[in-house]
């Protein structure tokens, strides 16, 4: 079928087209299959992953309360269904507990509300369908609200995950957009690569354009949101003492492994970005970069920072056999002072006296959300 893909036949052998080899149709057929597969399913794995322990993500309020916000990369403007999955339990019993996810792409929003009925370790999921705006976009903002049932039942969240639903085979006919509405991706008609079809100039031009476009697809490497407005009937030593800000305890743990192979530097366009949600301004060290965010004091918002990568200085942790590099908040004196600690008497340390979502001088200069994404 035209524009189809099949994951078992996506590898076209480069050695099948070198000098002295007989021309066969299978190579271009597999190439068409491969580019359709990459556009339809490329990076439809996790765009959001975060887990919670120590009863830190608890909510007992009987109204939907905003608790987290993440930035996530889009797969493309054609991928318009985001699946959200939650692992949770209730302390107490109720049918009135819910989690709501609100997806925002440049002001266009869609949402889903998922009921949380289980008192044991349960899974729930639902899909948000959104009409993508007709403008250039490559990221979305996802907000999570949770409601419990007052003293009757308290929600505890263990993990949250989201991924874009893949485009099914065959891909739709006609030009499609990844992030840029002036840049056409052309799905390849696989029937046009059959044994009795000529290999046209169009095939080569479109294939080169398509490869360049799909190389620009962003991957999500690290997603973290503070949990604000956590609430529990238990004391803070037991529950709802959530991580709201990035603190010194996350140094080293706040890490991921972006793929940075040879040729990365020569790519055109976006490469690797940190999307950082802050209250006011802050400077800190991440992945070999000094990140300096300037924002009006006591205001909250996202800032996009393009990172430079010095491959030679990045050590690897674990063995993954591919050019992944450890990206983390650095062990530095500056970070020890910039991130939240508990040294109220020491000059220059950051010890907030106010808990977000309240914003005032007591919590100015803190990180409440962080996403690392790259091509």
Please give the residues from 211 up to 230 whose contact with another protein meets the rule CB under 8 A. Answer: 211-212, 214-215, 217, 219-224, 226-227
Q: Does 43 bind another protein (CB under 8 A)?
A: yes
Q: Does 146 bind another protein (CB under 8 A)?
A: no
* Residue in this structure with the two tokens 């999921």, named with its chain if needed: 125
Contacts 24+ apart (CB under 8 A), 18-27: 25/193, 25/194, 25/195, 25/197
How are strands ordered across the β-sheet holding 300-306? 219-225, 366-374, 272-279, 300-306
Q: Please provide the size of the chain in residues.
A: 375
Query: Residues 74 to 103: which contact another protein by CB under 8 A?
Result: 83, 85, 87
Q: Does 159 bind another protein (CB under 8 A)?
A: yes
**161-200 footprint of another protein as x/- string (CB under 8 A):** x-x--x--------------------------------x-
Size of the site for another protein (CB under 8 A): 120
102/244 with CB nearer another protein? 244
CA angle 23, 26, 32 (to 5 degrees): 120
- Can you read off the two tokens belonging to residue 83? 């699946």
Q: How far is the CB of 25 from another protein (least distance, A)?
A: 12
Q: How far is the CB of 228 from another protein (least distance, A)?
A: 8
Query: Residues 336 to 375: which contact another protein by CB under 8 A?
Result: 336-337, 339-343, 346, 349-353, 355-356, 363, 366, 375
Q: Does 125 bind another protein (CB under 8 A)?
A: yes
Mapping DSSP onto H, E and C, the string for 175-201 reads CEECCCCCCEECCCCHHHHCCCCCCCH
Q: Dihedral (C-alpha) 67, 301, 254, 216: value to the nearest 10 degrees? A: 110
- Can you read off the two tokens belonging to residue 277? 């949600």
Q: Does 49 bind another protein (CB under 8 A)?
A: yes
Q: Of these, 254, 284, 287, 325, which contacts another protein (CB under 8 A)?
A: 254
**Which range touches another protein (CB under 8 A), out of 34-42, 103-111, 135-143, 274-282?**
34-42
Q: How far apart (Å, rounded) are the C-alpha atoms in residues 217 and 76?
A: 8
List Cβ neighbours of 270 (8 Å cut-off, separation of 6 or more).
138, 216, 218, 306, 374, 375
Q: Of these, 133, 194, 204, 301, which contacts another protein (CB under 8 A)?
A: 204
Query: Residues 294 to 333: which contact another protein by CB under 8 A?
Result: 317-324
Query: Residues 10 to 29: which contact another protein by CB under 8 A?
Result: 10-19, 21, 27-28
282's enclosing H/E stretch is strand 282-286
């Amino acid at each position: 079928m035209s524009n189809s893909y099949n994951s078992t036949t996506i590898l076209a052998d480069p050695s099948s087209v070198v000098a002295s080899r007989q021309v066969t149709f299978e190579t271009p057929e597999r190439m068409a299959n491969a580019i359709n597969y990459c556009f339809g399913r490329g990076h439809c794995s996790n765009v959001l992953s975060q887990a919670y322990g120590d009863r830190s993500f608890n909510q007992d309020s009987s109204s939907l309360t905003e608790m987290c916000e993440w930035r996530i990369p889009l797969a493309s403007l054609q991928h318009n269904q985001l699946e959200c999955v939650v692992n949770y339990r209730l302390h107490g019993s109720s049918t009135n507990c819910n989690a709501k996810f609100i997806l925002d792409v440049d002001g266009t929003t869609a949402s889903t509300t998922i009921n949380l009925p289980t008192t044991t370790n349960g899974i729930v999921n639902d899909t948000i369908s959104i009409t993508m705006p007709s403008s250039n976009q490559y990221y979305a903002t996802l907000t999570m609200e949770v409601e419990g049932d007052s003293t009757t039942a308290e929600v505890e969240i263990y993990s949250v995950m989201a991924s874009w639903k893949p485009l099914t085979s065959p891909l739709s006919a006609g030009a499609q957009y990844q992030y840029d509405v002036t840049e056409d991706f052309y799905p390849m008609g696989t029937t046009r690569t059959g044994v009795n079809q000529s290999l046209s100039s169009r095939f080569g031009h479109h294939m080169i354009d398509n490869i360049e476009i799909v190389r620009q697809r962003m991957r999500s490497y690290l997603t973290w949101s503070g949990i604000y407005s956590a609430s529990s009937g238990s004391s803070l030593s037991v529950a709802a003492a959530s991580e709201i800000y990035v603190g010194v305890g996350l140094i080293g743990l706040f890490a991921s492994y972006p793929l940075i192979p040879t040729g990365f530097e020569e790519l055109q366009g976006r490469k690797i970005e940190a999307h950082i949600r802050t209250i006011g301004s802050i400077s800190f060290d991440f992945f070999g970069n000094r990140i300096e965010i300037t924002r009006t004091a006591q205001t909250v918002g996202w800032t996009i920072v393009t990172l430079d990568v010095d491959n030679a200085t990045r050590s690897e942790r674990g063995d993954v056999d591919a050019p992944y590099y450890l990206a983390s908040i650095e062990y530095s004196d500056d970070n020890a002072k910039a991130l939240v600690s508990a040294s109220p008497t020491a000059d220059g340390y950051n010890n907030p006296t106010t808990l977000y979502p309240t914003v005032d001088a007591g919590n100015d200069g803190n990180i409440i959300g962080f996403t690392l994404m790259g091509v």
